[in-house]
Chain A
Amino acid sequence: MPDPANIAVDLKGIRKSYGQFEVLHGVSLSARDGEVISILGSSGSGKSTLLRCINMLEVPDGGTVTIHGETIGIVRNPGQPPRPVSMAQVNRLRARVAMVFQSFNLWSHLTILENVIEAPVHVQKRDRRECVAEAEALLERVGIADKRDHYPTHLSGGQQQRAAIARALAMRPTVMLFDEPTSALDPELVGEVLKVIQDLASEGRTMLIVTHEMAFARDVSSRVVFLHQGVIEESGPPSEIFGNPQSERLRQFLSREYRGLAE
């Protein structure tokens, strides 16, 4: 069982710029074991960038990233882009922090089953038979067990995303990151994916979800964070954020994105 006293992910003072444009102006966020945190904000607010700083897909120009108490070393030389000190450390941590992407990013030359076992077998070096058994159980769980021998291009968007979630779960991650998991889906396929994510949330996993689905964020999160232009405007339990938004920008955002919730 995750221990709520432990901090799974700790971001302190994260800054990130692209050229002259600073996307994140010193964002601090910590997620305790078992928390489900939804990150909201309009486009350009930096929410995806923040999420990607956690598994070093983006390397922050300032601040620290600490996962389960281990801080990721970053080399920052003037005039050069920042990079991790040790890719071995990053790869080790990446094997415990699984990500689900907006455009699924399943590997198209592998079947669904092969997609799910690929990283457990080749990165975590686990026994192949054990991985296959676990993969089949996961595919069963997300509802696409019959697609195990199909290639990703044969699946609908919703099915692909569920496969991607199974692929992430196969790593037995301690932290799961969701980068706008339903934004690329046709509206009628969104529900099946949200249901799977909701299921996972109720199991006590540490999850950070960047999303536009307001009702979903309200129902599934233990905490909601509102990011605006690279700064955390407001943060709190869903009842507060959706029921009693304090900042003007948050109120504008909510009335734009979800009328009727701000009441």
Chain B
Amino acid sequence: MIDLPFFVDSLTTLARGIPLTLQLTAMSVLLGAVAALGLALMRVSGFAPLDLAARFYIVAFRGTPLLVQIYLIYFGLGQFPELRQSFLWPFLREAYWCAVLALALNTAAYGAEIIRGGLIGVPAGQIEAARAFGMSRFLAFRRIILPQAIRLMLPAYGNEAILMVKATALASTITLMEVTGIAAKLISQTYRPIEVFACAGVIYLAINFIVARAFLALQRATAWDRKPPALRNVESTRHA
């Protein structure tokens, strides 16, 4: 029952969408992380108006479907003549940039809470020590808070990255031919939804697996509570 040539055919066809999927993911996660850092800083600034503005943004983008956000940007912005005449229009007219923008704005809202969790997870005593040794707020943030916060937020951000890989599928609704877009076309051409789903599913699972591994590697690289090399040697000789 398994039609191997068809599977191989589908996989090769679908694989053509992988670069776009990866591009959309990478761009939106990176741009979104920058925005997320800004939002997180607004949240922990202690300055009420900034905190409120950030919270409003986060609630808006986490409480509405990504599809609405994509359509608002791709279809909705065209409603305003002022925008159509601005210098932004060449970008906003392109489905690619609309998708990147929507995805980035969306992940920024989730990332902001993750980053904020990392920032407030840094032990307060260590921050106090940094200030007590004469570090300015900026220096303490750069040398002490940020490195530790990044390590704390890696697991959650890994999850978010995987969610973003899946989110890029929605770009197919605005004509972009990433993996899901090609899959939809393939299904409508071959009327074999189960096989196409299986192939596309394998591709997404593979990408997610790689992303998960990458984050695990990052976590291991920043695990400064790993066993020190000296102790490990001592233990192994004892067992011998």
B123 beta carbon closer than 8 Å to chain A: yes
Nearest to B224 among chain A residues (CB) is: A151
Categorize the interface residue count of chain A: 20 to 34
Encode contact with A along B123-148: 1 for CB under 8 Å, 0 otherwise: 10110111111111101000110011
| A109–B148 touching, CB < 8 Å | yes
Q: Is the interface of A mostly helix, strand, loop or mixed?
A: loop
Known A-B contacts A150-B228, A153-B225; A109 and B147 likewise in contact (beta carbons under 8 Å): yes
Most B-side CB within 10 Å, residue of A92, A101, A171:
A101
A-side interface residues toward B, CB under 8 Å? 55, 57, 87, 91-95, 98-99, 101, 103, 105-109, 118-119, 122-124, 149-151, 153-154, 167, 171
Task: Give Cα A55–Cα B131 distance, bound, in whole angstroms.
Answer: 10
The 7 closest A-B pairs by CB, nearest first: A95-B134, A105-B129, A94-B134, A119-B133, A105-B125, A123-B134, A151-B224
* B interface residue count range (under 10 / 10 to 19 / 20 to 34 / 35 or more): 20 to 34
Is A107 within 8 A of B144, CB to CB? Answer: yes
A55→B132 contact, CB < 8 A:
yes
**29 A-B Cβ contacts within 8 A?**
A55-B132, A57-B128, A87-B137, A93-B134, A94-B133, A99-B132, A101-B128, A101-B129, A101-B132, A105-B126, A105-B128, A107-B126, A107-B144, A107-B148, A108-B224, A108-B225, A109-B147, A109-B148, A109-B151, A118-B143, A119-B133, A122-B143, A150-B228, A150-B230, A151-B225, A151-B228, A153-B224, A154-B225, A154-B231
* Closest chain B residue, CB of each to CB of A168: B133
A95: B residues at CB distance < 8 A: 133-134
Chain B residues with CB under 8 Å of A119's CB are 133-135
Contact B131 A94 (CB under 8 A): yes
Shortest Cβ distance from A93 into B: residue: B134
Residues of B within 8 A of A98 (CB): 132-133
Interface-centre pick from B143, B148, B227 (highest chain A CB count, 10 A): B143
Smallest distance from the beta carbon of B165 to chain A beta carbons, Å? 29
Which A residues touch B131, using CB under 8 A?
57, 94
Query: Could you say which residues of chain A place their CB within 8 Å of the CB of B130?
Result: 107
Known: A57-B132, A109-B144, A151-B224. 11 other contacts (CB 8 A): A57-B131, A91-B134, A95-B134, A98-B133, A105-B123, A105-B126, A107-B148, A108-B148, A118-B133, A118-B143, A122-B143
A153 to B151, CA, bound (A): 15
Q: In the complex, A122 Cα to B140 Cα: how many Å? A: 10
Tell me, in angstroms, the Cα distance from A217 to B14 when the chains sit together: 76
Closest CB of chain A to B70's CB: distance in Å? 38
| Assembly CA distance A167 to B134 (angstroms) | 13
Q: Which of A87, A92, A108, A149 contacts B123 (CB 8 A)?
A: A108
**Quick one: which of B128, B130, B134 has the most chain A CB within 10 A?**
B134
Q: How far is the CA of A105 from the CA of B132 in the complex (A)?
A: 11
Q: B136: which A residues are within 8 A, CB to CB?
A: 87, 91
Shortest distance between the CB of B38 and any CB in chain A (Å): 23
- The distance from the CB of A97 to the nearest CB of chain B, in whole angstroms, is 8
Complex: A123 Cα to B133 Cα, angstroms: 8
The chain A residue with its CB closest to the CB of B130 is A107
What's the minimum C-beta distance from B141 to chain A, rounded to whole angstroms? Answer: 12
